[in-house]
Structure 1
């Protein structure tokens, strides 16, 4: 009809027309207007020529209109089926309009992942971990299923992401799987789905080689030579001092790089690392041997000459930023040693086992390892600080000379 008004259709016994439209009519009609079919369903043709399905329906006593979708995506038969289902739901007391809005509110996997990232950001130990969470998803997951609604992600989607990297990049693949699972667990908690496909695909993935290769460490008899080479290298003084402190304290590199002067008491030769920077999320007291105190005094003098006001013990080249992890890694490689910075903790552990008679719990406390046995942990109230001080002083002496004898640290 040319005047844009609703098409006059014959009614059966004074009721609304049933299946008044035909597929051919829907395909060819061009005049703007509303063309009714049945169960409140009508075809709306816009002046622009766009066509879409709308249903007029009574929901809990109120007359409402529900958009069902464009003709290009929904055929006449499909629109009729949707309209009939909506009407049945409304008659039984349901609210198809509210359900439709809820369905449209379900985010895509990428949207959900970014939301989860924001929620978990405060719990990550450092910005690097937070960045890695999103970086792996952006690289491996979002291109494949980022636009899929989080409620519709299937095991097939997860398999399509993991299969290409499961054997070639096993560690990365495991992390990607864990991060997908974290996002989907959040979706379950939101009520958008009932299952977690990331937990249900183990049988569909090939077997990986067990474990990862341990980080390379330095044999402890080689430590004096390494320390002599370190002091002789042409690297910046602050970088050399930072690496030496990593070794002397058996701390993780991040704990040393981010160290601040307000954490260190040089008079008492103690360094207290705050809980937020520790892996176990507990404060950790570190006894400082004589050489550690001396190198910290050197670092303090260097910082003052640089005019640094950040409060960092080892400031980097960028104002307010510490030296980077790669700076220490690069220094070790330049020195010609095929070892990992983190591996010096293993060097310390093996030395303590083979060359001292200190109990295992003392060396574990020195490494800030968590006691796994909950019952044992409940009674372990002491941080064994004085025993650790003896241990670390002996370790410091080893760095200056070869010491092949077993050190009796308990005899005193």
Structure 2
């Protein structure tokens, strides 16, 4: 029977040992690699299985021989007690990781999660206004209440504290704030920062506490009756302000305010009479070609004298302010909205022309509601829309009285 080793190694032997495994006794081994790297290993038997557990580096700057023997002796006692040192080490590592993650979650605030979500997703949002609204609404309403709270601790009471003061007076804002809080909390749950139900969820939760949106007042964009638009345009043309030119352009193209104010010369082909609005700036997320009538083209040519990248410039050289046209309407003594002129155009097209529903809807860049039809619709009916917008421009410039009963119908455009 071979003699059991006991303290077979010496510090000098550890220093000069060649590559290989060198036993010291009691399960302690010195491992030396071809590179010269040295480490201590304790080999033990438990439940009929032999296993190795590393103790650390050996040699200069590492664990000394005497300390390696002390570590071996401590582990031998655990093995005799039926404890697997490897499993114990893994369990301790898991517990440390869990504690670290718990500390991280405890320190993860609603503000931090919200800002991270905005940074990760704002590139896919349509415009700067939408990005700014996200930040502004959360900073104004959510952060003062729960911005610095751990996102894991946010509950229904916090959400209601934000929403209840503004739910009746600012329904649109309140609805958007609730939706954005819900999205942030969903993102936090997906990242493992919180568990359980979303306290900002509407259906089956907040909707059981606050009145439904259908009961809240929103209203429609107030529009000028289309019969009064020619007279309004005539009055508009007497004003030399850039806002007046921009507003007339909005009316003639039946486009949205944001589409016009953010329009650039790179999008316009004056020679062909086409303005191509990129998908990123369209509400439906789809590129929209706008046919430019003679009058719309003349407005742009006059505007281009300002030498700016924008179609319509403000007093400071940047793009025209979003309030410029609204203030102009107030000065003209009317309470209609700029967006309302799209309604006037649609009413005129429906009641005073025979253009098809599809042509009129495409002129407004509305999405085709019928999915089957949308799947087969490949073109944008551009030439028919050009004729429609030419007729609209002619109507806007017509001397018809506001109470006129004359209705112009183009028989040549009865087909869709």
Indicate the TM-score class for this superposition, using the shorter chain for normalisation: 0.7 to 0.9
Alignment of 1:45-84 (within 5 A): none
Give the one of 282, 295, 299 matched to 1:278. 282
The alignment partner of 2:244 has SS state of helix
Alignment of 1:143-162 (within 5 A): 143-162=144-163
| CA deviation string 1:26-45 (max 9, x = no partner) | xxxxxxxxxxxxxxxxxxxx
- In structure 2, the residue matched to 1:101 is 100
Question: Using the alignment, how far apart are the partners of 1:247 and 1:383 within structure 2?
Answer: 20
Relative to structure 1, is the Cα distance of residues 131 and 331 closer, same or farther in structure 2, using a 3 angstrom cutoff?
same
How far off is 1:348 after superposition?
A: 0.6
Question: Using the alignment, how far apart are the partners of 1:329 and 1:118 within structure 2?
Answer: 32
RMSD of aligned Cα (Å): 2.3
On the 8 A contact 2:256/2:339 being kept in 1, the answer is: yes
Give the one of 247, 252, 272 matched to 1:248. 252
Question: Using the alignment, how far apart are the partners of 1:102 and 1:318 within structure 2?
Answer: 51
How far off is 1:184 after superposition?
A: 1.0
- In structure 2, the residue matched to 1:123 is 124
Task: Give the TM-score taking structure 1 as reference length.
Answer: 0.73
How far off is 1:374 after superposition?
A: 2.3
- In structure 1, the residue matched to 2:309 is 311
On the 8 A contact 1:90/1:96 being kept in 2, the answer is: no
User: Looking at CA atoms only, which structure, 1 or 2, has the larger radius of gyration?
Assistant: 2
How far off is 1:192 after superposition?
A: 2.1
On the 8 A contact 1:390/1:409 being kept in 2, the answer is: no
Question: Using the alignment, how far apart are the partners of 1:275 and 1:390 within structure 2?
Answer: 24
Q: Show structure 2 runs of 5+ residues with no match.
A: 1-52, 56-86
On the 8 A contact 2:168/2:216 being kept in 1, the answer is: no
- In structure 2, the residue matched to 1:293 is 297
Question: Using the alignment, how far apart are the partners of 1:90 and 1:178 within structure 2?
Answer: 46
Question: Using the alignment, how far apart are the partners of 1:328 and 1:409 within structure 2?
Answer: 36
Task: Give the TM-score taking structure 2 as reference length.
Answer: 0.72
- In structure 1, the residue matched to 2:31 is none
How far off is 1:409 after superposition?
A: 5.2
Question: Using the alignment, how far apart are the partners of 2:54 and 2:153 within structure 1?
Answer: 33
- In structure 2, the residue matched to 1:205 is 210
Is 1:267 equivalent to 2:271 in the alignment?
yes
- In structure 1, the residue matched to 2:412 is 410
Question: Using the alignment, how far apart are the partners of 1:259 and 1:173 within structure 2?
Answer: 31
On the 8 A contact 1:329/1:341 being kept in 2, the answer is: yes
- In structure 1, the residue matched to 2:224 is 218
Relative to structure 1, is the Cα distance of residues 278 and 409 closer, same or farther in structure 2, using a 3 angstrom cutoff?
farther
| CA deviation string 1:375-404 (max 9, x = no partner) | 221111110111111111111011111273
The alignment partner of 1:410 has SS state of helix
Relative to structure 1, is the Cα distance of residues 374 and 211 closer, same or farther in structure 2, using a 3 angstrom cutoff?
farther
How far off is 1:91 after superposition?
A: 9.2
Q: Report the count of equivalent residues.
A: 319
